[in-house]
Amino acid sequence: MSALGQDSENHSHGGLDYLSELPQARPHIHETRKFPEGFLWGSASSSHQAEGGNNNDWTDWEKIPGHILDGSQSGRACDHYNRYEEDFDIAKSLNQNAQRISVEWARIEPEEGKWDMDEVVHYRKVLQAIKDRGMQVMFTCWHFTLPKWFAAKGGWESPDAIDRFGRYVELLASEYGDLVDIWITINEPMVYLLQSYGAGVWPPGVRNQFRSVHVFGKMTLAHRRAYKVIHRIVDARGGGKAKVGIAQNVITFEPYRKQSIADTLFVWFADRMFNHQFFIWSRKDSHDFIGINYYFHYRIKNRPEKPSQFFFEVHTENREVSDLGWEINAPAIFDAIMGMTRYGKPIYISEHGVANADDGKRPRIIVAALKEVYHAIKAGVDIRGYFHWSLIDNFEWEKGFSGRFGLVAIDYTTMKRTPRRSAYVYAEICKENGIPHTLLRYMGHGVRW
């Protein structure tokens, strides 16, 4: 027998031995991918974007031509201020067991140092309405909008900003401590900094890196203050320790040119600055959990000559994008989660969603992202809930009403609410506390792109 023949004989024999040592191939599991008991399934929204009838720094900003891309103003928004019960009924009917909402500082403290008790009571009713429907509350103290008096003093740059914010949070903790399950002090500080003090497309419309760093410092301290205030007040009531954290917009970055050292270094730098700096400065002991808001996957190309673009360019060619032109990469939520495990804290997905008016993509995106959340849990990450952004279409900041993020569509003329197909897909997941196999099969098991 030729050397070749002998070789191949030995090979195949050895190969069979090796096969017999392999664990039995797992049969294909046609079962629901179950999430942990008590997992929170909800949706998220914010006061200014949904309520209507607000009077804050944004309402002035919206009036100036050019500030809102589609020319709209928040105005009546979704009239959620009056229709919150209807909206929570819808969430409940869609099997959700939690809601994330925020309250308007400008309503609660319309003038410096003066509480509007009618508004304080209003928000108690809103929170009670969530509880009455058997849902848990994730509560955001501050979601981008400022009272006009605070903005006039310089907003977060004003010398007493931390005290003013601390006093407001003290009121919230005293008034709502018995109704809130999870506290978010500040929503997406990094997005606020970039939009308001970097790109200057949100009020106060500043483009100044030094001022941006100043505000960054103030916000980390404001968060620390709020963290302490909430614990002091809520923990003293009994009923367990408060859970307090922030909602951080986490971006997954990828070098556009794989062999480029500049792009690779920039990715490292951007990840550190955008995703981690707030936790480093505010210190990990002021976070009981990490809230992840996930929307963006950036393939970035370093552009040293473009300081006005923060020295980089985002590329989306050959990628699927949302109605707003943002790259869609739901599976990358896995990396977003893994990147935040370094703090050793429980994680909530406090926002995730897509602007997609015809809903052609949203069902697939929800399943694709949740499949990765499931895998992260299986890999040992302590993830406790998922809040889809958003329950209803709403006012998408500088994009106006044309960015449609809702599981439920809004007809802004009649205010009629109509659940989209994705709302029912998500409802099925919420009901099962997991992803039914039928959904995975229907989407294609890979649920990739």
Which residue matches tokens 């406090």? Answer: 350
CB atoms within 10 A of CB 96: 26
Nearer to ligand BGC, 187 or 302 (CB): 187
Nearer to ligand BGC, 74 or 302 (CB): 74
Least distance (Å) between residue 101 CB and ligand BGC: 12
The token pair that represents 335 in the structure block: 């990396």
Nearer to ligand BGC, 35 or 183 (CB): 183
Least distance (Å) between residue 235 CB and ligand BGC: 27
User: In the chain, helix, strand, coil percent, each to 5?
Assistant: 45, 20, 35
Through-space distance between the first and last CA atoms of the chain, rounded to whole angstroms: 51
Nearer to ligand BGC, 52 or 255 (CB): 52
Least distance (Å) between residue 377 CB and ligand BGC: 23
Alpha-carbon dihedral angle through residues 119, 125, 127, 132, given to the nearest 10 degrees: 180
DSSP string, 364-378: HHHHHHHHHHHHHHH
Nearer to ligand BGC, 49 or 282 (CB): 49
Instruction: Say if residues 306 and 274 touch (Cβ distance below 8 Å).
Output: no
Instruction: Say if residues 402 and 396 touch (Cβ distance below 8 Å).
Output: yes
Least distance (Å) between residue 403 CB and ligand BGC: 7
Least distance (Å) between residue 186 CB and ligand BGC: 11
Least distance (Å) between residue 223 CB and ligand BGC: 16
DSSP string, 41-66: EEEE--HHHHS----SHHHHHHHSTT
Least distance (Å) between residue 295 CB and ligand BGC: 6
- Helix residue spans in 134-276 (DSSP H): 148-152, 161-176, 189-193, 209-236, 261-270
Least distance (Å) between residue 46 CB and ligand BGC: 5
List interacting residues with ligand BGC (CB under 6 A). 46, 49, 187-188, 191, 249, 293, 295, 351, 389, 396, 405
Integer CA distances (angstroms), 280 to 51, 110, 209, 217, 351, in order: 34, 33, 19, 11, 22
Nearer to ligand BGC, 35 or 156 (CB): 156
Nearer to ligand BGC, 246 or 377 (CB): 246
Nearer to ligand BGC, 194 or 267 (CB): 194
Nearer to ligand BGC, 231 or 287 (CB): 287
In 3-state terms, what secondary structure has residue 348? strand
Q: Provide the b/e sequence for 335-366 (b: ≥16 CB within 10 Å).
A: bbbebbbeeebbbbbbbbbbbbbebebbbbbb
Q: Helix (H) and strand (E) counts for the chain?
A: 16, 13
Least distance (Å) between residue 396 CB and ligand BGC: 5
